Amino acid sequence: MDASQDLIVARPEGLYCPPGDFYIDPWRPVERAIITHAHADHARFGHASYLAAEAGVGVLLSRLPSINLQGIPYGERVVVNGVAVSLHPAGHVLGSAQVRVEHAGRVWVASGDYKVEPDPTCAPFEPVRCDTFITESTFGLPIYRWEPSRAVFDGIDSWWRHNAAQGRASVLFCYSFGKAQRILAGVDREIGPIFCHGAVEPLNRAYREAGVDLPPTRLVSDIAARDKTAFKGALIVAPPSAQGSAWMRRFGDYSDAFASGWMRLRGTRRRRGLDRGFVLSDHADWPGLQTAIGATGAQRVIVTHGQIEPMVRWLREQGLEAAAFMTEYGDDAMEADAVGAVGLAGDNLAQVPGVADDAGQIYEPHLPHVFRNTPAQTQADEAPPSPKATSR
């Protein structure tokens, strides 16, 4: 195929649509950016204008305040330099979208991150017919196969209930945006009080403002650090980077767990040194990826991040034209869904300072960039005060 005909190409700044002159989830500053969802590896500061799904405007602004943002409803068509653009639910997190691009009789869809499983906190994934489908492949190996999420929540509930009966706190690590709210919406809110880390609570607020039903939650920092009784029997939702930090001391006797798709593998779970691991992902599992790709009817598939090589080879063997784009997506998923998928990332996370900051500031610690060649930002750049300084 003649690459000059491609509707979306990879540029150093990000995925680029030449006829429309816009970027999708660019990682370097550009004029016009279409954002699939508000996770940090897809939505970054520095672009002159942003376009995103209306449903995700609240969360996007809570993470990137005062950007020049236009929100459009799912399915609504806007024309950018003669290219018809519409956004369709990706089922990944609140406001996540696939970008459908149509020009001169060709249709391309860039999916961002997606899952096909139902999730009460966001609109369900919508298959969109296209000629070329740009897909993620975070869990693109046949070993990744999710249980129905109800079974996972039952597991979380019984773990929490058991701890509560023992007078212990239950600390559940998960990504603060998306996963945390999905868990809050899914657990049995009658078991006990729920507290959230300062990185999670602002997202809860954005979700509630968007009309998502979440149980009442309180900030951990609202409780005096010496008061260890307040957390007995409570569920505490915190980002994985809080594990092993001084921030944890306030909970006294607690059991800890991690909710992530990576917990599917026993080795990964055991290396984390947690009491429990719950297999819950906001990405499609192997059957989900196959279903989603098949439903687009696309003859050409481009894989952006995750298990790129096996997925490309597999799709080729299925008779599709498959290739890969080098992108900078997936870093966030490391922290996100993830940690422990790469040993290095897991190790470093435990040492990222600043997670003790739960004073309401949104803070997602940036990993040292495992996959990238760009110089790693020093942690001091963005780290709030060290755990010592904030532990009272």
Interface residues with another protein (CB under 8 A)? 141-145, 255, 264-267, 270-271, 273-277, 310, 313-314, 317
CB of 390 to another protein, least distance (A): 28
CB of 143 to another protein, least distance (A): 4
Structure tokens at 78: 């806007």
CB of 161 to another protein, least distance (A): 14
- CA 58 – CA 37 distance, rounded (Å): 11
Residue 100 or 272 having the CB closest to another protein? 272
Residue 28 or 271 having the CB closest to another protein? 271
Place of tokens 């990576």: 262
Identify residue 173 by its one-letter amino acid code.
F
Name the E strands within 260-316: 276-278, 300-306
- CA 304 – CA 108 distance, rounded (Å): 14
CB of 172 to another protein, least distance (A): 14
Residue 191 or 274 having the CB closest to another protein? 274
CB of 306 to another protein, least distance (A): 12
Residue 79 or 151 having the CB closest to another protein? 151
- CA 220 – CA 203 distance, rounded (Å): 15
CB of 10 to another protein, least distance (A): 24
Place of tokens 């020009």: 103
- CA 110 – CA 260 distance, rounded (Å): 24
CB of 176 to another protein, least distance (A): 24
Give Cα 354 distance to the centre of its chain.
20
Name the E strands within the chain: 9-11, 14-17, 22-24, 32-34, 49-53, 69-72, 77-80, 83-89, 97-103, 106-110, 132-137, 169-173, 194-196, 218-219, 235-238, 254-259, 276-278, 300-306, 321-324
Residue 188 or 275 having the CB closest to another protein? 275
CA dist 150 to 96, 157, 160, 285, Å? Answer: 22, 10, 15, 16
CB of 328 to another protein, least distance (A): 22
CB of 253 to another protein, least distance (A): 11
- CA 75 – CA 320 distance, rounded (Å): 27
CB of 310 to another protein, least distance (A): 5
Residue 37 or 232 having the CB closest to another protein? 232
- CA 147 – CA 329 distance, rounded (Å): 26
In the three-class reduction of DSSP (H, G, I as helix; E, B as strand; rest coil), residue 350 is classed as helix
What is the Cα Rg of the chain in Å? 21
Residue 313 or 388 having the CB closest to another protein? 313
Q: What is the largest CA-CA distance in the chain?
A: 66
Residue 71 or 155 having the CB closest to another protein? 155
- CA 131 – CA 297 distance, rounded (Å): 7
Residue 44 or 269 having the CB closest to another protein? 269
Residue 316 or 388 having the CB closest to another protein? 316
